[in-house]
């Protein structure tokens, strides 16, 4: 007689096939994620702490416990894996940022966002690279080549606005939130685009042609990544509008939106483009067209599902960074003295401070010079907060640093380890110190009554300009003089008006969007959802 194994035997043999370290790591991270959610809820009204700092602190404590248990030996649970970060943790965050963005506010301040996110990142990259070239090789016995120096410029230019956005309010500080939020997303994408551009060039000989080649590579990656994201977003809208998946199953609608969003990121990485830019603009397009084509149940499900995945990924990343800071292999491999380590980390911090200030204040004041409306100008107190908000560095900085120096063939192991540990020190210091001061600083620097007045005034002038612009008598005048005046005085409103005309006449009939009624009618959209 053949005796069949019991179900318990099957379960036990399955678990035994997995490595113990993987099971331990999953248990630790799941427990820490739950702890972060609970502690973050309890600290919701705290002026000095938020969920990002809590997760980072718990990661540090957990990493210390792991080191004590393993007698300060290397452990896989502490190693930062950039593939895990870029392929699984970062896409949900960036997509949800584009999907949940208040599009009217975002594109109303799009000129500021582009100036800070694109031009500002380039200025910061150039100044940090120049400072690193002049200072780093003079500290101790550090010896880096030109590609490593430029990589440091790109690495330190990547801001981390997640921590800051947790203490900013879209309702109380709409202008500030929109600029910091938009700049943070564009900056991350720009930093990675510049980093990839640096990696793809041969720096055996530096000349003006190389500089133009670097600029051309950047422009190519930026434009093609954006176009790809828009194309995939439009494709998802067209498929869902055409096939009416909601007739039979709302699950298919939700699944298709999630898969298409992730597909846009993967195809961008496969084509060696910027996945961040691609999935961000894919999220914007999906929220404008695709989301309105699905049923009411699917709209509710996708909105909360994307937000939940983004929240878990953000918390997981800060835990990950905190534990990676205690990766003993990096600290052992770096044979630099304590003084050299402090000098390099302090140099990094000084370059970040100077590189950030070098573009925030000049760009803001130049922009204010060309703005006629006082309500649309960025006052000095807001400029200071924008500068402060971009000083924090996070997981993108560590991931790029590990990518550059973990397997470098031209840089010595000691110098590579020193660069990684100095980057980790910068991330910990900026997040813990700058992050904890941000909320009290905003309350002290920004006056609530002035912020509310600025927001209301801006909205009033924008709507007033739109009313005049939509008047045929104002537009159809000889020599187009009124149109040119409105274009110069209200550029955002004017562009928005003509975009709405094009969108209503050509885009929505093909790709759907607000106003399209699926076969299975959904719940009516609120004014907040439409915006």
**164-200, pLDDT tens digit by residue?**
666 666 666 777 778 887 888 788 878 887 888 787 7
CATH architecture label of 82-447: Up-down Bundle (1.20)
Most confident of 34-43, 325-334, 466-475: 34-43
Burial of 5 (0-12, 13-18, 19+ CB in 10 A): exposed
pLDDT of residue 201: 72
Instruction: Read off the pLDDT of each residue in 360-384 and give the average, rounded to a whole number.
Output: 83
Where does the pLDDT of residue 519 fall: very low under 50, low under 70, confident under 90, or very high at 90 and above?
low
Where does the pLDDT of residue 441 fall: very low under 50, low under 70, confident under 90, or very high at 90 and above?
confident
Asked if the model's pLDDT at residue 457 lies above 60, the reply is: no
Residues with Cβ within 8 Å of residue 268, at least 6 apart in sequence: 225, 228, 229, 274, 275, 277, 278, 279
Residues with Cβ within 8 Å of residue 416, at least 6 apart in sequence: 333, 405, 406, 408
pLDDT of residue 166: 63
Q: Is the backbone of residue 139 left (phi > 0), alpha (psi -120 to 50) or beta?
A: beta
- pTM of the model as a whole: 0.81
- Residues 114-166 have pLDDT tens digits of 889 889 999 999 999 999 999 888 886 678 888 889 999 999 998 876 666 66
Ordered by start, the domain boundaries in the chain are 82-447
State both tokens at 521: 């009618």
Residue 157: how many other CB atoms lie within 10 Å: 31
- Residues 43-98 have pLDDT tens digits of 877 767 777 788 888 888 888 887 887 777 766 666 677 788 888 888 998 898 88
Where does the pLDDT of residue 112 fall: very low under 50, low under 70, confident under 90, or very high at 90 and above?
confident
Asked if the model's pLDDT at residue 286 lies above 90, the reply is: yes
pLDDT of residue 452: 43
- Residues 398-425 have pLDDT tens digits of 888 888 888 777 778 888 888 988 998 9
Asked if the model's pLDDT at residue 307 lies above 80, the reply is: yes
pLDDT of residue 362: 93
Residues with Cβ within 8 Å of residue 151, at least 6 apart in sequence: 195, 198, 199, 400, 404
């Amino acid at each position: 007689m053949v005796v069949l194994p019991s179900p318990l035997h099957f379960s036990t043999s399955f678990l035994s096939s997995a490595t113990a370290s993987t099971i331990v790591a999953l248990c630790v991270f799941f427990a820490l994620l739950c702890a972060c959610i609970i502690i973050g809820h309890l600290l919701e009204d705290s002026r000095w702490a938020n969920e990002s700092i809590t997760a980072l602190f718990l990661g540090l404590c957990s990493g210390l416990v792991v080191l004590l248990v393993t007698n300060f030996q290397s452990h896989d649970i502490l190693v930062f894996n950039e593939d895990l970060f870029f392929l699984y943790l970062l896409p949900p965050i960036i997509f949800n940022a584009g999907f949940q963005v208040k599009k009217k506010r975002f594109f109303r301040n799009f000129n500021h966002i582009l100036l800070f996110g694109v031009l500002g990142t380039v200025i910061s990259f150039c100044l940090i690279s120049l400072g690193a070239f002049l200072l780093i090789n003079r500290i101790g016995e550090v010896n880096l080549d030109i590609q490593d120096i430029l990589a440091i410029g790109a690495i330190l230019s990547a801001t981390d606005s997640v921590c800051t956005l947790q203490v900013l309010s879209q309702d109380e500080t709409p202008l500030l939130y929109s600029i910091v939020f938009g700049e943070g997303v564009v900056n991350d994408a720009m930093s990675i685009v510049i980093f990839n551009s640096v990696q793809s060039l041969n720096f055996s000989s530096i000349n003006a042609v190389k500089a133009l080649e670097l600029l051309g590579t950047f422009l190519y990656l930026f434009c093609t990544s954006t176009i790809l994201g828009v194309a995939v977003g439009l494709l998802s809208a067209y498929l869902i509008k055409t096939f009416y998946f909601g007739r039979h199953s709302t699950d298919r609608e939700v699944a298709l939106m999630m898969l298409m969003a992730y597909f846009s990121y993967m195809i961008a990485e496969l084509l060696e483009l910027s996945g961040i830019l691609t999935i961000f603009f894919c999220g914007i397009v999906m929220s404008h067209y695709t989301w309105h084509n699905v049923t009411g149940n699917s709209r509710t499900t996708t909105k909360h599902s994307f937000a939940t995945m983004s929240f878990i990924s953000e918390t997981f990343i800060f835990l990950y960074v905190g534990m990676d800071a205690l990766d003993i292999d990096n600290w052992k491999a770096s044979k630099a003295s304590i003084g050299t380590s402090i000098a390099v980390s302090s140099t990094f911090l000084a370059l970040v401070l100077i590189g950030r200030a070098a573009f925030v204040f000049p760009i803001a004041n130049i922009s204010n010079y060309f703005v006629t409306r006082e309500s649309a100008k960025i006052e000095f107190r807001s400029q200071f907060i924008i500068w402060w908000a971009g000083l924090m560095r996070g997981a993108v900085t560590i991931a790029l640093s590990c990518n550059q120096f973990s397997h470098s063939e031209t840089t010595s192991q000691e110098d590579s380890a020193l660069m990684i540990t100095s980057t980790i020190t910068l991330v910990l210091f900026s997040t813990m110190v700058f992050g904890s001061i941000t909320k009290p600083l905003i309350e002290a620097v920004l006056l609530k009554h002035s912020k509310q007045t600025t927001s209301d005034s801006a909205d009033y002038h924008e709507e007033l300009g739109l009313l005049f612009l939509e008047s045929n008598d104002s537009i159809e005048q000889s020599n187009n003089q009124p149109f040119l005046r409105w274009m110069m005085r209200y550029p955002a409103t004017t562009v928005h008006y003509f975009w709405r005309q094009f969108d209503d006449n050509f885009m929505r009939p093909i790709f759907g969007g607000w106003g399209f009624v699926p076969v299975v009618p959904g719940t009516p959209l609120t004014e907040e959802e439409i915006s």
